[in-house]
Structure 1
Amino acid sequence: MWGVLGRVKPIQRGLRTAWTPSRNWPYVPYATELLNLRPRRVLPFQPHHPKSSYCSMVPLAQDKYRLPVNVQPTHYDVTVFTDLNTLKFGGFVNISLDIHEETSAIELNVKDLDLGSATVYSDGLQSEQLQSGQTIDKDQQRVTFTFPQALPTGSKAQLKVAFNGLLRDSMTGYYISTWEQDGQTKNYALTQFEPTDARTAFPCWDEPLLKATFAITMVSHADTVNLSNMPAISEKTYQPGATQDTPELSKLLSSLPTEHKWKITRFQTTPPMSSYIVAFANGPFVYIEQKVTMPLSGKTVPLRIYSTPDVIHQTAFALDVAARVIPIYETVFDVEYPLPKLDTLVASDFDAGAMENWGLITGRTTALLLDPAKADINAKKNVAMTQSHEVAHMWFGNITTMRWWDNLYLNEGFATLMGEVIIINKIFPEWKANSEFISDHLSSALTLDAKLSSHPIEVECPDANHINQIFDALSYSKAASVLRMLCDYVGEEKFLKGVSLYLKKNLYKNTVTNDLFEGISAATGVDTVRIMDNWIKKQGFPVITVTENANGIHVRQDRFLETGQVDPKENETIWSVPLSILAVDSNGHASIDKSAILEEREKDIAFDTSGSFKLNAGTVGVYRVRYTPERLAKIAAEAAKPDSIFSLDDRMGIMYDAVALTKAGLCKVSDTLTVVDLWSNEKEYLVWSTLSETVNSLIFTFWESPQTVDLLRAFLRSLFVPIVKRLGYKYSADEPTDVTLLRTLAISSAVSGRDQGVIDEMRSRFAHYMETGDDSKIPADLQATIFVSAVKYGGPAEYEAVIKIQEKPKTPTARLAAIYAMGSTQDTALLQRTFDYILEKSRDQDIVYFFRGLQSNNLAKKKLAVFFKDNYATLMKRFEGNFTIKYLVSVSFGALSSKADCDDMETFFKDKDTSKYNMALAQTLETLRTRVAYIERSSDDLNDWLKKWEKRSKL
C-alpha cells in the first residue's frame, strides 16, 4: 500500500501528494516532525505454540487475537451481488477446508454482515450438516458456527453461508464511492481490505498467513463493469427463470429487484493469496490499455487503467509507468509475473494513497491521475512513484507475504526502496531519486525514530484492531532506509540477487525477517542476519560522535533522541554501523572506505585527518554524525566550494544532521544558520530545498515570537529572492528538471519570507484568472503558491473563487491547492466558513488536507485544536476504522508550542478511549514537549545570530 501520507514535501517544493503511507497529503511548512507521528503499542512476544507448522508461527499469548488453527481454508468460491441503487450487496461463499483437528465448531472472521445459516459438508462423514448454533463476537470480529457432528481429523470439508451487507461511504471493506455526471451524483463500489476488512465483505479467514485460492463471481446491473483480481472468463445477462449452476445462485438471482437487468461475471481462479489483497469493483468504468511482452516468459500481459468517464483522459501517464516498470521488476527479481493481467482502478474516495491488490491496483485520484498539459514535476513524481511502488508489491508482498503484521515492513519497506528509488531511477534518472530519498524518507524516518514513543521496524502487533497504527514512517521509510544502507554496504547487484533468492525460495509462502536476510547472506557471503538484527528489532538509531587524535579518529555510538538526553536504560543497543568514511589523503586523493564498520560502543580508526573527511559518505547510513564544532566548520567550508569533494547527497546529510543535533541541544542553532548562510552560492536544487526546510522549520517552531519570525523571514528572502530574480517566472518544457524545481522552490520560499514583490506577482496572476477565467498565467508548478497567496492576502472574492475550483477542479492537484488556500485566509469569518465546510461538505478523503492547510496558518493553529476538541465525537464516528483519525490527532495539535498547550492536550485526552490512535497521541505530546524545551534553550542564541546577520546585511 502507498502510505496515507505518501511522499512528504514542503509546499515550497510544490504541491505533491500520494500512500501513502503510504502512506498522501502534501505538506505545509513546517511539519516534518509531525508528519511521522504514528502510534506505538508494545506487547511482549511469547514462545511459539507447539502444535503444528502453522501453529508454530502463532504466539501462545496471542491466541485470543488469532483464529484457531484446527481448520484452514484452501479455496473460496465467492459470489457477490451489488445494487448501486439501493446501496446493498450480498451473496454467498463456499469455502473448502482442511480439518487439522477434530472439531464441531468452525471459527472465522466477520464484521458488519448479516449471515444466513451455515452448512458444512464433510468428506469424512459423507454428509452435509446444518449449523446447530451461530455466535458472533463483535469485539474480535468473528463468528463461530457449531454443528451436531464433529468433523474428523485429516478430513476435508466445505462451508457454505449466505451474507448481506450495506455499501457505506466508509472507504473500507466493500464501500461506495461517488462521482458527478451532468450535475448528478453517481455511485460505484470497490474494495479496500488491507489490513483487516475482507471480513466486512464476506466471511473469511482474514489473516495474511492463511492463504487460499479465490474464484470470484459478481452479479450486477447489466450496464455496469465488474472487475476483480483475475480476468473474466464469462459474462452473461441473467434471464429470469433460466437454470443456474447452483441452487444458491438461483435463489440469489430470484431475490433481486426486477426493474433492472442483471448480469453474471465469473473470474478466473487466483493463485494462493492472502485475503487482504482480494479485490472487486462494480461501476460505470471505462479504460485505456497497453500490452507488455514480459522478458522471462515472453507472454503478452494486458495492462489496463480504469476510471469513471470524466477523468479517463488523465490516466495515460500512470498506465505508461506501469508498462515501463513491470518488465524491469520481472528481470530484476528473476521471477515471472504470475497473473494474466494487471489492472489499475482510480477511485474518487480512497482512505490510503493506493493499494496493491493482486492484479487490480486501486488508488485515489491524486495518486494516479495526471493531465500532461497541466501537470507539475512533483505531480509526475507522485504518480510514477505510487504506481512503481504498487507494482513492486505484485512480487514483494503478493507472491511472498509476511506471516503477520509485525513484519509489515517486509512488504512496505521493500516496495518503497524498489518502487521509489532503484526502479524509478532506471526510467527517470533526471529525478535523482536516490538523493531525494534522503529528504523524502531517511530524514522523516529519523525524525520519528528519535522519539521514545517510536517503535522497532519489526513491531509487536498481536491485536488486528490496532494494525492501522503501524502503517507509518518506520514500516515504510525507516525500513526502506535500512534496506538501502544494506544495499550500499554489500553492493546493489548482490543485494538484488539475494532478494531474488528469497523470492524463489518462498513463492506463494509467508515469511519473517530472517528469511529475507538469509537470502541476501547467501548471495553476498556477508552475515546480514547478524548485521541487520538490531536495526530491525530494536527501537531507535545511533548518533556517531567523532573526535580526532594523533592517529586518526575515535568514534562512539549512542542512541540518538530528539531531547539530546539518553537514560542509560535507553542506551543499551549496539548497532552494526557501516561508517563509509570519505577521506582525502595528503596527496589530495579522495577515497571511500566502505569496509569500516562499528560493531562495538567505541573504537579508534587510523587514517590521515589532515585533509577533509566525512563519515556516512553519500548519506546512506541510518544514523546521525556529530563532529566537534571546529571539524563541522571545516566540513561546511569544504562543502561550500564549487569543486567540493562532498557530493549532493553528502551536503544534504550534513544539513539534516546539523538541524537534528540543534533540536537535540547538541549543536547551537547559530552554528546551523551559519552553515546555511555559508552555502548561499549552492547550485543544486535538493540542497537548496534542505536550506529552505531549515529556515522554515524555525519559522514553524518560533511562530509565537513575531520579532524572531520577522528576522527569519528576512533571512529567507535574502536567500531566495535573488534566485527568483535570476530564474524569473517563466517555465520552459525543455529546461532541466532541476531548474524548474529550483524556480518553484525559490518563488514559494520568497512568498513564505513575505517578499512583497513576489507576493504581488502571485496575486496578479490569480486576479487575471478571476477577471477572465483564463488560467494560462497559473503554471502547474506555482498553482499552490498562487492560490494560497491570493486567499491569504485577498478577501471574500478570492475565497469564493478557490471554493469553486475545489468543487469543480480541472485536476486533482488543483483541488488540493484550493483546499490549502481555504485554510490560509486571514479573515476570521472566512476561517469559520472553512471549519464549517469541513463538517458539512468536505469529502472524507480530503479532510486531512483541510487540517494541514489550517495548521500552516498562524491565525488558525490554536483554533484547529479547539475545533478538533469541540467536534471530537463527530470526527471519531466519521472516521472509525480509517487510517485518517491518527493524522487528525497529530495535525490538530502538532503545531502548538507552549507548555500550557501540552497540559491542555493531556487533560482533554485523559478520559478518552485512545486505543485507535495512542501512538500518534504519545508522539505528538513528545514532539510538543521537545519543542517547548528547544524554544527555551535556543531563543537567545537564535535572536543573537539573527541580529548580527541583520547588521551585516545592511552594510
Structure 2
Amino acid sequence: MTTKPDEFRLPIDVRPTHYDLTVQTDLETFTFNGLAKIELDVKKETSSIVFNTAELDLKDASIYSDVLKTEQVETARSFDTAAERVTLQFSTPLPAGSKARLSIGFAGKLTTSMMGYYKSSYEHEGKTKNYALTQFEPTAARRAFPCWDEPLLKATFAITMISRDDTINLSNMPVVSEKIWSPSNTSEDNDTSLVRLFSSLTTETSSSEDKWKISQFMTTPLMSTYVVAFANGDFSYLESSYTTQFALDIKAKVLPLYEKVFDIEYPLPKLDTLVAHDFDAGAMENWGLITGRTSAFLLDPARADMAAKKRVTVFESHEIAHMWFGNITTMEWWDYLYLNEGFFIVRIFPEWKVDSEFITLHLNDALNLDAKVSSHPVEVDCPDANQINQIFDSLSYAKAASVLRMLSNYVGEERFLKGVSLYLKKRLYGNSVTRDLWEGIAEATGIDVTKMMDNWITKIGFPVLTVTETKDGIRVRQDRFLETGPAEPKDNETIWSIPLSLLTVTEQGKPIVDHGIVLDTREKTIAIDTTKPFKLNAGTSGVYRVLYSDERVASIAEAAAKSDAVFSLNDRIGLVHDVMVLSKAGFSRVSSALTVVDTLRHEKEFLVWDSIAGNVATLLSAWWEQPRIVELLNKFRQSLYGPIAQRLGYDYAVDETADTTQLRTRAIEQAARAGDARVIGELKSRFAEYMKTGDDSKIPADLFRITLIVSVKHGGREEYEFVKQLYEKSTTPPSASTSAMYAMGSSENEECLRDIFDYILTNARDQDLVYFFAGLRGNNKTRRRLAKFFKDNYDTLYARFEGNFSLKYIVEEAFGGLSTEEDYEETVKFFKDKDTSKYNLALEQTLDSVRATSAWLKRSTTDILEWLEMWDKRE
C-alpha cells in the first residue's frame, strides 16, 4: 500500500461528543434532507473543522463557541473527494479546551446503492412498494449525514425523523415522542422550534396538504457512527408476510445467555430486527436495530429446512454478540476488525454439535484462505478506505474465531470467558486494541497471553507440523503452510507458539490428551509409545495442519473407523480435511487422502460425511475438464452416498435427530450430484408433480434446493422457466428464492443459458448476483462462460457494485473456478489496466487459487487416476 495512514484518518484537533440529528425522508421523491447539530470538544486551537461527507449536498454551516460566545458562519470550504471529507474554514480560531456546536444542513438522494441511506423495494398486490434504511459499515454513515465517520470517534446521538404520516420510523433507540404535523398547521405549542425546523426542511418537496410524522428517539449511549441506524417505510407487509417467530425465539434465548456469560447487561431498552429485500452484506449489527437480508432472518415454519434454521440462528446469534463485541466495546480502527467479528458463540441447540461443525464451516475455511501467499494477518494494516470492505473475509471472521477457540481450549473455556468479560468491562463504551483483549485473558488465567498469541494475530499464515517417528517417540517440526507447497525461506520465518494437544492411549486403551505441551521452537522431540495410536491436535482445536507418514495416516484412519474409536468426532473431521489439503499442496498424495475417505465409508456421523462431501467436491472442481477422472470420482461418490440415501429414504420424521435429518439431505444431494440415476429419477418425479399441481408438499423442505437443481440440470426450458418464477415471486420463502438462483445456473440448455446471462444484467437484484454467479460457477458448462461474461460486462458490473461488499465476491466467483496456467495468464492480462483498488485482495487470492489448482493438476493427475482405476476394478 502506498497510502500514508493519515491520508484517510481525520485530524483529532476536534472531536464530536453528541449529534442532534434530524432527517426528513420523502419516499415519493426518493430524497432526504436533514440538519446536524454536532457538539464538539476542541482539543487544539483551530480555525478549521474537518469531517467526512460523501454524495451529500451540504448546506451553509455555522459554529458556536462556548468561550467566544459568538456564532460564526464558514468563510470557505474545500473537498477531498478521494478521502471523502470536507474542510470548513472559520475566521476566528476556536480556543483549545473549549466546546463548540457545529450546525450544518444536508440533502441527498435515496438510491439503490445498498449503502448509506438507500431505498429498497418489493412487489405487493401488483404494486411496487418502497422503503428506506441504512447500511453504514464500514464508511457509509458519511453518505447519510456529515460526521466524524471513524470507530474511535464515539458520540451520543439524539435522532429525530420526519416522514410521510402513513409510514413508520425506526432507529437505534425507542421513540420518546411522536406527532403529526402539516405545513397548514400554524398552531403554537411547546415544539415551535421543531415545527419551524421541519417547515424549512419540507418546503421544497411538500404541499400544504401533506401530513408528516415527527418521531423523536431516545438519546443513545456513546457509539460509533457505523452502528447508527434509521429506517422509514410501511413495514407491516414484512411483519405479516412471513412468520419471524423463530428469529425472535433465538433472540430471546441468546440475549440473556450473553448477559450471563459476559456479566454485562444489554444496555438498550429494545432490540429490533429489520429485514430488508435489498441488502449488500448478510446482516448488520446496528445497536438496537439489527438489519439483514430476508434469507438471514426469515423462514416459513411449515417449510423450513435444517439449513434455514441454522442460518437464522447463526445470523441472529452473531449479530447479538456484536451488541457487546463492537457496540459496547469497539475496535479502535479497522485494523482490529477481528475484535468485533471473531466471536462465534451459539449454544442454544446442543444437538447441532456446533463446536464440531465449526471445524468445517470456519476453521477449514480460514486455513484454506490463509494458505495463500496473498493472505493477510488477522490484525491487518488498513490505512486506505478502499481496503476496509475487503478485509471482511474469512481471516477477520473465521481465522480470528479459530485462534480464539484454540486459546480457549488451551486455557480452559471458563477462564477464557472470564478474561473476555474483564476485557469488555475495562473498555465499556470505549475502544480497544489487541493488547486489551490479551490483558483481560492474562488476568483471568495467569498466562502470558501476548507472548503466546501475538504471531497468530500479527503474522500471515499458519504452520504445518511434520511428525517424524523415532525409536523413542516423535519429532515435531513447524513450517509455514502454503497451498502451493513448501514455503521459501523468506516466507518461513515465523515461529508460532503451538498448543499440541497430544492424544495418546493408556495401557487400558483409553485416550488421554495432554493440553500442556507447547511447540514454540522450530522442532521438538516428545517421548511417546508409537506402537499405540496417537494424534496431535486432539479435538482439532489448533489452527494448523499435521503431516504424518502415509503409513501413520492409514493407521489413524483405520483406528478412527472402528465403532469404539479412540479418535473423537472432531478428530475424524480434522483428519479428512488435513489429508486432502496436504495432498493438494504436494506434501502427500491424493491417493493417500482417497484411501482415508474409503476407509471411513462406514462412518455414522453426519459431520464427517459433510467434510468428505466438501473435499470430494474440491477434487471434482479441480479436475472438472478431465472426463475420465470426473466419471470415476462421481462413481466413487455414488458408492459412498448412494447406499446411505437408499437406507434413509426420502421421508423426514418429526422426531428424528438433527444428525439423521442432515445426513439424509447430504447423502441424497451428493448421490444426485454424482449422477445416481435412482436418486435423480425420484427427485425429478417429485418436481414434475410440483410443476403440474403447484403443490410442493411432495418435496421435503430439506431436499427443495437439490430437487430444483437436478430438475433444471436434466430438464429443459419448461423447468427453467418454472424455477425462474419461483425467484420472481416475492411471496415465496427466501430459501426458495435462493434455491431458484442456484438452480437457474445449473441448466445445460443453451437457450436457458443465454437467458440467464441476460437476466443477470437486466432483472436480478443487485444483492442476488453472487448467488447467480455461484450457481454458474458450479456448472461445468458455464465456468469459462462466466469469466467471459464478467470481462465483457466489466464496466457495467463495476459501476453497479463499486463500494459494495458484493464486488469482491463476484470477482471470486467469476474466476475462482478456473484451473490452468493459461487461465491465470489471461486473467492477469485482463486486469492489468483496471483500477483494482476496491477488490485487489480478492483478485490476488483468486489468482493464487487458480495457480495452486494448476500446479495440483500437474502434480497429481496420474496419481488420482491410477487410484480411481484400481478402486474401480475392485468394485
Q: TM-score range by the shorter chain?
A: over 0.9
Residues 721-758 of structure 1, C-alpha deviation per residue, up to 9 Å, x if partnerless? Answer: 11111101111111111111001111010011101111
Q: CA deviation at 1:43?
A: 6.8
Confirm whether residue 354 of structure 1 aligns to residue 283 of structure 2.
yes
Aligned to 1:664: 585
Q: CA deviation at 1:585?
A: 2.9
Confirm whether residue 810 of structure 1 aligns to residue 728 of structure 2.
no
Counterpart code for 2:615: T
Aligned to 1:266: 216
Contact preservation (8 Å) 2:386, 2:837: no
Alignment partner of 1:776 out of 697, 701, 717: 697
Counterpart code for 2:206: P
Contact preservation (8 Å) 2:553, 2:596: no
Contact preservation (8 Å) 2:29, 2:205: no
Alignment partner of 2:167 out of 215, 220, 224: 224
Aligned to 2:296: 367
Secondary structure (helix, strand or coil) at the match of 2:302 reads helix
Confirm whether residue 251 of structure 1 aligns to residue 180 of structure 2.
no
How is 1:696-707 mapped onto 2 (pairs within 5 angstroms)? 696-707=617-628
Judge which range, 831-840 or 241-250, deviates more: 241-250
Whole-Å separation in 2 of the counterparts to 1:168 and 1:73: 28
Secondary structure (helix, strand or coil) at the match of 1:116 reads strand
Aligned to 1:343: 272
Counterpart code for 1:220: S
Residues 814-868 of structure 1, C-alpha deviation per residue, up to 9 Å, x if partnerless? Answer: 0011111111111111101000000000000000000000001111001000100
Whole-Å separation in 1 of the counterparts to 2:223 and 2:386: 21
Alignment partner of 2:409 out of 470, 488, 499: 488
Whole-Å separation in 2 of the counterparts to 1:694 and 1:173: 39
Q: CA deviation at 1:245?
A: 2.2
Aligned to 1:514: 435
Alignment partner of 1:108 out of 51, 54, 58: 51
Aligned to 1:65: 8
Whole-Å separation in 2 of the counterparts to 1:371 and 1:318: 11
Aligned to 2:770: 848
Secondary structure (helix, strand or coil) at the match of 2:615 reads helix
Whole-Å separation in 1 of the counterparts to 2:107 and 2:447: 54
Whole-Å separation in 2 of the counterparts to 1:119 and 1:394: 35
Secondary structure (helix, strand or coil) at the match of 2:380 reads coil
Q: CA deviation at 1:587?
A: 3.6
Whole-Å separation in 1 of the counterparts to 2:806 and 2:489: 36
Aligned to 1:913: 835
Confirm whether residue 502 of structure 1 aligns to residue 400 of structure 2.
no
Aligned to 2:307: 378
Alignment partner of 1:863 out of 785, 798, 805: 785
Aligned to 1:308: 238
Secondary structure (helix, strand or coil) at the match of 2:112 reads coil
Whole-Å separation in 2 of the counterparts to 1:330 and 1:695: 42
TM-score by length of 1: 0.90
Confirm whether residue 606 of structure 1 aligns to residue 527 of structure 2.
yes
Whole-Å separation in 1 of the counterparts to 2:198 and 2:739: 48
Residues 476-521 of structure 1, C-alpha deviation per residue, up to 9 Å, x if partnerless? Answer: 0000000000000000100000011011111011000010010000
Alignment partner of 1:546 out of 467, 471, 487: 467
Confirm whether residue 392 of structure 1 aligns to residue 313 of structure 2.
no
Whole-Å separation in 1 of the counterparts to 2:136 and 2:8: 18
Q: CA deviation at 1:565?
A: 2.2
Secondary structure (helix, strand or coil) at the match of 1:794 reads coil
How is 1:173-192 mapped onto 2 (pairs within 5 angstroms)? 173-192=116-135
Aligned to 2:30: 87
Whole-Å separation in 2 of the counterparts to 1:275 and 1:823: 39
How many aligned positions are there? 867
TM-score by length of 2: 0.98
Alignment partner of 1:793 out of 714, 729, 751: 714
Whole-Å separation in 2 of the counterparts to 1:473 and 1:254: 48
Residues 532-555 of structure 1, C-alpha deviation per residue, up to 9 Å, x if partnerless? Answer: 000000000000111111221111
Contact preservation (8 Å) 1:114, 1:164: yes
Secondary structure (helix, strand or coil) at the match of 2:193 reads coil
Contact preservation (8 Å) 1:408, 1:475: yes
Whole-Å separation in 1 of the counterparts to 2:581 and 2:37: 56
Whole-Å separation in 2 of the counterparts to 1:802 and 1:495: 48
Counterpart code for 1:205: W
Whole-Å separation in 2 of the counterparts to 1:769 and 1:704: 34
Aligned to 1:751: 672
Q: CA deviation at 1:309?
A: 4.2
Structure 1 residues 43 and 335: CA distance shift in structure 2, 3 A: farther
Whole-Å separation in 1 of the counterparts to 2:53 and 2:182: 32
Contact preservation (8 Å) 1:586, 1:611: no
Contact preservation (8 Å) 1:731, 1:740: yes
How is 1:577-592 mapped onto 2 (pairs within 5 angstroms)? 577-592=498-513
Contact preservation (8 Å) 2:510, 2:566: no
Residues 112-142 of structure 1, C-alpha deviation per residue, up to 9 Å, x if partnerless? Answer: 0001110000111110011111212111101
Whole-Å separation in 1 of the counterparts to 2:102 and 2:383: 27
Q: CA deviation at 1:242?
A: 4.0
Aligned to 2:67: 124
How many percent identity over aligned positions?
Answer: 59
Contact preservation (8 Å) 1:277, 1:357: yes
Counterpart code for 1:380: K
Aligned to 1:29: none
Aligned to 2:611: 690
Unpaired stretches in structure 2, ≥5 consecutive residues: none
Secondary structure (helix, strand or coil) at the match of 1:595 reads coil
Q: CA deviation at 1:263?
A: 1.1
Secondary structure (helix, strand or coil) at the match of 2:562 reads coil
Q: CA deviation at 1:774?
A: 1.1
How is 1:329-340 mapped onto 2 (pairs within 5 angstroms)? 329-340=258-269
Aligned to 1:292: none
Q: CA deviation at 1:63?
A: 1.6
Aligned to 1:413: 342
Secondary structure (helix, strand or coil) at the match of 1:562 reads coil
Counterpart code for 1:772: T
Q: CA deviation at 1:898?
A: 1.4
Counterpart code for 1:252: L
Structure 1 residues 43 and 493: CA distance shift in structure 2, 3 A: farther
Judge which range, 457-466 or 269-278, deviates more: 457-466
Whole-Å separation in 2 of the counterparts to 1:166 and 1:642: 64
Contact preservation (8 Å) 1:586, 1:608: no
Secondary structure (helix, strand or coil) at the match of 2:216 reads strand
Contact preservation (8 Å) 2:554, 2:595: no
Q: CA deviation at 1:595?
A: 0.3
Whole-Å separation in 2 of the counterparts to 1:453 and 1:63: 25
Q: CA deviation at 1:463?
A: 1.4
Whole-Å separation in 1 of the counterparts to 2:431 and 2:169: 30
Counterpart code for 1:364: R
Aligned to 1:453: 374
Confirm whether residue 193 of structure 1 aligns to residue 136 of structure 2.
yes
Unpaired stretches in structure 1, ≥5 consecutive residues: 1-41, 45-60, 287-306, 419-423
Contact preservation (8 Å) 2:182, 2:210: no
Contact preservation (8 Å) 1:354, 1:362: yes
Contact preservation (8 Å) 1:585, 1:608: no
Whole-Å separation in 2 of the counterparts to 1:718 and 1:308: 45
Residues 348-395 of structure 1, C-alpha deviation per residue, up to 9 Å, x if partnerless? Answer: 100000000000000100000011110001110000110000000111
Secondary structure (helix, strand or coil) at the match of 1:613 reads coil
Aligned to 1:27: none
Judge which range, 131-140 or 443-452, deviates more: 131-140
Whole-Å separation in 2 of the counterparts to 1:724 and 1:63: 59
Secondary structure (helix, strand or coil) at the match of 1:106 reads strand
Alignment partner of 1:827 out of 749, 769, 778: 749
How is 1:520-559 mapped onto 2 (pairs within 5 angstroms)? 520-559=441-480
Aligned to 2:226: 276
How is 1:141-220 mapped onto 2 (pairs within 5 angstroms)? 141-220=84-163
Counterpart code for 1:261: K
Structure number with greater CO (CA < 8 Å, separation at least 6) is: 1
